[in-house]
Amino acid sequence: MNQELNDAQRQVVLAEKGPILVVAGAGTGKTNTLVHKLAHLVKNGTNPESILLLTFTRRAAKEMLGRASGILDNRMMSVRGGTFHSFCHHFLRKFASVISLDSNFTILDEEDTIGFVGMAREQVVTTGTKVRFPKKETLAEIFSACFNLQISLEKYLQKEYPMFLGITKEIQEIKTKFADLKAKHNSLDFDDLLEFTRKILVSDERIRQKMSTTYDYILVDEYQDTNKIQAHIACLLASIHQNILVVGDDAQCIYGFRGASVHNMLDFPKIFPNTQIIQLTKNYRSVQPVLNLANAVLEKSSENYKKNLIASTQKHSFPPYLITVESFEEEAEWIAEKLLELYEEGFPFSQMAVLFRSGYSSHLLEVQLNAKKIPYRKFGGKRFLDLAHVKDVIAYLKVVENPRDILSWNRILLLEEQIGKKYSQILYKRLESNQFQWKNDANFFLGLPESTKQSFSKLMECLDTLSPFQQSTNQVLESILTHYIPLLEANYDDSEKRKQDLDSLLLLSKNETKLSDYLSNLILDPLEGKEIGNSDELKDEYLTLSTIHSAKGLEWKVVFTMQVVEGNLPNHRIRTTDELEEERRLFYVAITRAKDLLFLTNPAFNDKNRFTSVSRFLSDLDKESKLYESLEPKNKPKSENNEIDQENNPPSNSFENIQNYFLN
Q: Does residue 493 contact residue 339 with C-beta atoms inside 8 Å?
A: no
What is the amino acid identity at position 177? K
Residue of 256, 224, 139, 232 lying closest to 189 (CA atoms):
139
Q: Taking the model in full, what pTM does it have?
A: 0.77
Q: How far apart are the first and last CA of the chain?
A: 72
Q: Is 529 annotated as a binding residue?
A: no
Other beta carbons within 10 Å of 369: 26
- Label residues 475-484 b or e (16+ Cβ within 10 Å = b): ebbebbbebb
| Rg over CA atoms, the chain | 30
DSSP-derived secondary structure for 287-304: -HHHHHHHHHHHHT-SSS
8 A C-beta contact, residue 244 and residue 272: yes
Taking 70 as the pLDDT cut, the residues of the chain under it are 1-3, 381-382, 520-521, 523-540, 607-609, 634-664
A 10 A CB-CB count for 401 gives: 18
Cis peptide before 570 (omega within 30 of 0): yes
Q: Is 29 annotated as a binding residue?
A: yes
User: Is 346 assigned a ligand-binding role in the annotation?
Assistant: no
3-state secondary structure 601-624: EEECECCCCCECCECHHHHCCCHH
Query: Cα separation of 579 and 573, whole Å?
Result: 9
Residue 30 known to bind ligand = yes
- The pLDDT assigned to 381 comes to 66
β-pair partners for 599? 321, 560
pLDDT at 467: 82
Cβ proximity of 570 and 580 under 8 Å? yes
| Helix or strand holding residue 413 (H, E) | helix 406-415
- DSSP letters for 187-215: EE-HHHHHHHHHHHHHH-HHHHHHHHHH-
For residue 384, give the DSSP letter.
G
Long-range contacts of 529-535 (CB under 8 A, 24+ apart): 529/349, 529/375, 529/376, 529/377, 530/377, 531/375, 532/375
Is 157 in contact with 168 (CB distance < 8 Å)? yes
pLDDT of residue 648: 43
Which run of H or E residues covers position 283? strand 282-283
- Spatial distance between the Cα atoms of 225 and 262, rounded to a whole number of angstroms: 8
Q: Which residues partner with 611 through β-bridges?
A: 605
Q: Which of 192, 169, 170 is nearest to 179 (CA)?
A: 192
Tell me, what's the pLDDT at 581? 93
Helix (H, G, I), strand (E, B) or coil at 319: coil
Question: Given this model, what pLDDT does residue 171 score?
Answer: 96
pLDDT of residue 481: 92
Count of C-beta atoms within a 10 Å radius of residue 244: 26
Please indicate if the annotation marks 28 as binding a ligand.
yes
Q: Is 481 left (phi over 0), alpha (psi -120 to 50) or beta?
A: alpha
Q: Dihedral of CA 239/241/245/251: which sign?
A: positive
